[in-house]
Structure 1
Amino acid sequence: MSVARVFLALMSVLLMAAGVRADTALNSARLWPAPDHTRLVLDMGDSVEHSIFALKNPDRLVIDIENTKLSANLDGLDLSGSPIRRIRSAPRNGDDLRVVLDLKSEIKPRSFQLEPNEQYGHRLVLDLIDEDGLRRNEASQPVLSDNHDGKRDVIVVIDAGHGGEDPGATGPSGTREKDVVLKLARKLKAVVDSKPGYKARLTRNGDYYIGLRERTLLARKQNADLFISVHADAFRTSKPRGASVFALSQRGATSETARWLARNENSSDLIGGVGGVSLGDKNEVLAGVLLDLSMTASINASVGVGDYVLRNLGQVARLHKSGVEQAAFVVLKSPDIPSILVEAGFISNPQEEKNLQSSAYQGKLANAIWEGISAYFNDTPPPGTLLAWKKRNGQDNSVASYRIQRGDTLSDLARRYSTTVRRIKEINNLSSDQVVIGQTIAVPTS
């Protein structure tokens, strides 16, 4: 065969290959409505090229996906609670797919792709953002306690980890972390709300996802005195078990300080919450010093409240580590709000998975976390709160329950809770200094 014929044959093969396009399929879809946005997830056979644009009169969002065919029944999606009235689709330009969302109201769209993970393959994600909903979630006013004009409640923001498209860890029997921690967060909120001088807020109260930075932003908007993120740990084997408490590490604080100082919108940022110190009118050196001081104080307070919470968790659950651990978790990077992350147990451990499924056990964990919160704030009540007013006026007689552990003595407990052995004995009607492992006693929390 001549060189020319070989060349022509190769060109023919290449041209035929160029004309054959392997379609990517849109295999299924999921919808996750949230208070201020709705997330539409399209399961794709591969990564895709796509574009989106909005149309008005009536409001519509058009998604054009290249080289894609429809292999899903989009009519079966439950659209309740979302801004979507109807979903339509049709082939476009022969090989492409056009999906049209008929909307009930105007939204701000955002799209991105996610790589495959353990549960899902390639995904095209569309967030339909309700800007009116965002405005409704702007900073709230301090909550004033009943019958105490001018004395505000302590605000505790409780963050249930993961949610929506992000299930978190999965236990051996299929228990999903996102479901367990939401139930625990709701129980903790109920306990906190039932106590005078306290008010709890949830970052999410349903099965939807919130970005990690947005969770801390929600805490700031709520003027939080404490941020608690609730999770369930996992490991590649089923052996590890036990609850843990984390605060921010110094390495995480250093990176966050640099990030804050590099942001262009610092003029509106405060440290110290509402009425705190604005960084916008400070030179770079002074702003850095102020932010570093605030971050250091926040970490110290986080470790302090974490120690109280861990100590009380140890009375109802096995502990993975005996002290508060520190790591660079994004949700802990608030420079002016004490923030802790509670790992309620290892969902990858069959026994702990079973425990975490139990409503009664979740209640025990919620009460133990509350006892830690209460003990911390009774010791160091935030200025302007009902708790601070009570303490200043000698009305603080709060006590917490404590289960005696190996090595505990009344004198140790007196030092730990800043009280006296005599006071502990009076509260518990004890005739001697002797205590036994497993015995539950009441201790003053201030």
Structure 2
Amino acid sequence: MIKNNVYFQITILFLCSFFSVVAYAANKLEGVRIWAAPESTRIVFDLSEVPNYSYFTLDGPNRLVVDLKKSTAKVALNKLENNSKLVKGVRISQSPTKGDLRLVIDLVKPLNASLFSLPVTAPYGNRLVVDLEDKTLTTATAVVTSTPIKTVTQSAQSSRDIVIAIDAGHGGDDPGSIGPSGVYEKKVALEISKRVASKINDTPGMRAVMIRTGDYFVNLNKRSELARNSKADLLVSIHADAFTSPNPRGASVWVLSMRRANSEIGRWLEQKEKHSELLGGAGDIIQNTDNEQYLAMTLLDMSMNSSMAIGHSVAGDILKDLGRVTELHKSRPESASLAVLKSPDIPSILVETGFISNPKEERLLSSSRHQESIANAIYKGVSRYYHSNPPADTLLAQRGGANSNNAKPAKAPVKTSTDIASTGRAPKAYVDDTVSTKVKHKVRRGESLSAIAQRYRVSMSSIKQVNGMKSDVVQLGQTLVIPQS
């Protein structure tokens, strides 16, 4: 009996020791990835389990120290690829607590750090994400593409370029959809986006800014902020579609719907965007949108209606050209509630260049020739719309677009509250409500009074007054006299 008791005690001690070791080594660091953006850097630690962590900063030299509880490392950090201008490297240091893993991120200078964990979301497992940003960075800035920018000599009557923000979907630790042979949506989107931006920059009177120029992630809501800071007239987000089966194919263009998506593909797309947001990090609710400009909810609604009307028109023009170079999934713009389209003051569209989940279209989207054809179609649609409908303060309007009616930039900077109401943001030059000329505009399909007022940089009330209108409703084919100073 005594012998049996001894064996039993030894067995219990062995099991306790075994499980204690297992507990200490429960989590394994399996990989580290560094994604460098122009003004920030993201470091992703791939882990076998959900991380339990703490962190603190040190100076002299500058470091961020991360302690992973009950963890071990399986990765050689001295071979880590690093193209960041903010991070010197990542190394392992001695932890004061037995069984913990201490990671030290050596910094070039003091940085703001944000840490959060992400759950398993294919193709990745558990992750700890470290976002680092320059403390001196005050506003987000979109990246102007490398093509030399056209300049216009500034004067009292100077005209501006039309600015098109090009957003390559996904990026960094968010690959987007993955094709049957392993093609990443983020790579296809970036290649096509660069081609579109280059064509826009080659067009007199137009200029492109890139939301991302490399393989890094930009928060979904921040993409609109970057476009806004660049004073963009239009945001074009470029993606490659996917579905649960390989059968769907064809390109499509999406505009914002304030209601639910109007198709099964649309509902899938909305879910995919939530999936993307989860991969890239918890998205912030839009709260940096210069709320002081929106004097009341009514003004915000008017601005949104104007942006949606313009976006719908641009989407229709792009579809005409896409249909000449590839199959279309739908011949008309489709609607869904997507974060990248929700900016109230910037007309925004999302172009799905084809289904990367379809084997044939995956091969096409990987082809340089097909990427060029798609990019050219997107460019032609955008260019045709703005040559036909140039905002009045732009170089294209000064030169006389197809339907510009020889509209000229406003001369007198007279500020009116109704200008802000019609545009949702303060235009570069305000137009005096009391002065009018016989410039005429014929209402086209999808146009609203607020959109027309935004185009000519005049107030809705001045258009209504000159035309004897009692309501904000305009009719298709109606001819309006546009007051201008």
TM-score normalised by L of structure 1 = 0.76
Give the 3-state SS of the residue equivalent to 2:325 in structure 1: coil
Q: Which segments of 5 or more consecutive residues in structure 2 lack a partner in the other structure?
A: 262-284, 409-443, 446-485
Instruction: Name the CA distance, whole Å, in 2 between partners of 1:246 and 1:326.
Output: 6
Give the 3-state SS of the residue equivalent to 2:67 in structure 1: strand
- Give 1:147 deviation, angstroms: 5.7
Say whether residues 1:300 and 2:313 are aligned partners.
Answer: no
Once the two structures are superposed, residues 325-367 of structure 1 have per-residue CA deviations (whole angstroms, 9 ceiling, x without a partner) of 0100100001011100000001111111111111111111111
Say whether residues 1:33 and 2:36 are aligned partners.
Answer: yes
Say whether residues 1:24 and 2:33 are aligned partners.
Answer: no
- Give 1:231 deviation, angstroms: 0.1
- Give 1:250 deviation, angstroms: 1.9
Instruction: Name the CA distance, whole Å, in 1 between partners of 2:105 and 2:220.
Output: 28
Q: Percent identity?
A: 41
Change (3 A) 1:178 1:136: closer
**1:124 is matched with which residue: 128, 136, 139?**
128
Once the two structures are superposed, residues 279-335 of structure 1 have per-residue CA deviations (whole angstroms, 9 ceiling, x without a partner) of 3xx3xxxx1111011111111111111111111111111000111001001000010
Say whether residues 1:146 and 2:168 are aligned partners.
Answer: no
1:19-418 matches, within 5 Å, as 19-20=20-21, 21=23, 22-92=25-95, 93-133=97-137, 135=139, 137=141, 145-146=151-152, 149=155, 150-251=158-259, 268-269=290-291, 278-279=293-294, 282=295, 287-391=296-400, 394=406
Query: RMSD between aligned alpha carbons?
Result: 2.9
Contact between 1:144 and 1:152, CA under 8 Å: does it hold in 2?
A: no
Instruction: Indicate the residue corresponding to 1:275 in structure 2.
Output: none
- Give 1:251 deviation, angstroms: 2.6
Instruction: Name the CA distance, whole Å, in 1 between partners of 2:374 and 2:150.
Output: 28
Instruction: Name the CA distance, whole Å, in 1 between partners of 2:331 and 2:342.
Output: 23
- Give 1:395 deviation, angstroms: 10
Instruction: Name the CA distance, whole Å, in 2 between partners of 1:289 and 1:16.
Output: 67
- Give 1:132 deviation, angstroms: 3.6
Once the two structures are superposed, residues 371-409 of structure 1 have per-residue CA deviations (whole angstroms, 9 ceiling, x without a partner) of 11122112221121011212257599xxxxxxxxxxxxx
- Give 1:69 deviation, angstroms: 0.8
Instruction: Name the CA distance, whole Å, in 2 between partners of 1:104 and 1:288.
Output: 44
TM-score normalised by L of structure 2 = 0.70
Instruction: Name the CA distance, whole Å, in 2 between partners of 1:240 and 1:211.
Output: 28
- Give 1:78 deviation, angstroms: 2.1
1:431-446 matches, within 5 Å, as none
Give the 3-state SS of the residue equivalent to 2:259 in structure 1: helix
Contact between 2:44 and 2:130, CA under 8 Å: does it hold in 1?
A: yes
Change (3 A) 1:293 1:394: closer
Change (3 A) 1:134 1:318: farther
Contact between 1:145 and 1:151, CA under 8 Å: does it hold in 2?
A: no
Contact between 2:113 and 2:131, CA under 8 Å: does it hold in 1?
A: yes
Give the 3-state SS of the residue equivalent to 1:151 in structure 2: coil
Change (3 A) 1:315 1:131: farther
Contact between 2:255 and 2:312, CA under 8 Å: does it hold in 1?
A: yes
Give the AA of the match of 1:190: S
Instruction: Name the CA distance, whole Å, in 1 between partners of 2:222 and 2:237.
Output: 13
Equivalent pairs counted in the alignment come to 368
Contact between 2:188 and 2:365, CA under 8 Å: does it hold in 1?
A: yes
Give the AA of the match of 1:108: N
Instruction: Indicate the residue corresponding to 2:419 in structure 1.
Output: none
Q: Which segments of 5 or more consecutive residues in structure 1 lack a partner in the other structure?
A: 254-261, 271-277, 397-414, 417-446
Instruction: Name the CA distance, whole Å, in 2 between partners of 1:83 and 1:386.
Output: 39
Change (3 A) 1:365 1:134: farther
Instruction: Name the CA distance, whole Å, in 1 between partners of 2:288 and 2:250.
Output: 41
Instruction: Name the CA distance, whole Å, in 1 between partners of 2:324 and 2:247.
Output: 21
